[in-house]
A and B are shown apart, each in its own frame.
Chain A
Amino acid sequence: MSKLIAQAPVLASRLVAEARPRFQVFMKYAKVELTPPSVSDIPEIRSGIGRLINGAKTGRWREVTVREAWLNTLVTVEVLCWFYVGECIGKRHIVGYDV
């Protein structure tokens, strides 16, 4: 046990050295995919919402392939699930409220 504690700083530095390139790979993807939308994206967002509403109005959703519809469903469900993740963070408890 004392050997383990003596080796702890060595292990920690090795862990950091191992994790750094992986963390850099993660950051490379995160900078493109995970950043919150910026102010310059607002026109794109509005046009996207407009396209969605137009598509719903003109009935174009009936002519979309099943594969496309399935992918859209998955993306929608994923976006909706972020609400529940936020709720767990807000109530500071994973399952249920801690009263």
Chain B
Amino acid sequence: MSSLPAPVRVSPLIKFGRWSLLSVGILYGAFHQNRLSKKEAAIREVELKQKAIRDEKLAAEKKAAAEKEIAELEKLAK
């Protein structure tokens, strides 16, 4: 343990740069996350509305296809 080197005296400019970039990074990360999550919430809402319309369309198409199949099977069975 006594063979460890003495602590290095880091230049204050480097320390200042490190800590300032760290704090700027934290602020930027929080700010950007906020901005992106708001955008994503808006997109999600739009998609939710579209989903309702899309589901209706899909259900209608499925019903039409099922009825066509039944009609064809009846024709074959006649």
The residues of A with any CB-CB pair to B shorter than 8 Å are: 21, 25, 28-29, 31-33, 35-37, 41, 44-45, 48-49, 52, 75, 78-80, 82-93, 97-99
Per-position 1/0 for B19-39, Cβ under 8 A of A: 101111111111111001101
Contact call A89/B29, Cβ cutoff below 8 A: yes
Q: Which residues of A contact B46 (CB under 8 A)?
A: none
Q: Number of B interface residues at 8 Å Cβ cutoff, please give it.
A: 32
Q: A36-B15, A45-B12, A90-B26 are in contact. List 20 more A-B contacts (CB 8 A).
A: A31-B7, A32-B7, A32-B8, A32-B9, A37-B12, A37-B15, A41-B16, A45-B13, A48-B12, A79-B14, A82-B18, A82-B21, A82-B25, A86-B28, A89-B25, A90-B31, A90-B33, A91-B33, A97-B36, A99-B40
Given A83-B21, A97-B32: A48 and B11 interface contact (C-beta under 8 Å): yes
Given A41-B16, A79-B17, A99-B40: A33 and B8 interface contact (C-beta under 8 Å): yes
Main secondary structure of the interface of A (DSSP, over half): helix
Q: Which residues of B contact A33 (CB under 8 A)?
A: 7-10
Contact call A99/B36, Cβ cutoff below 8 A: yes
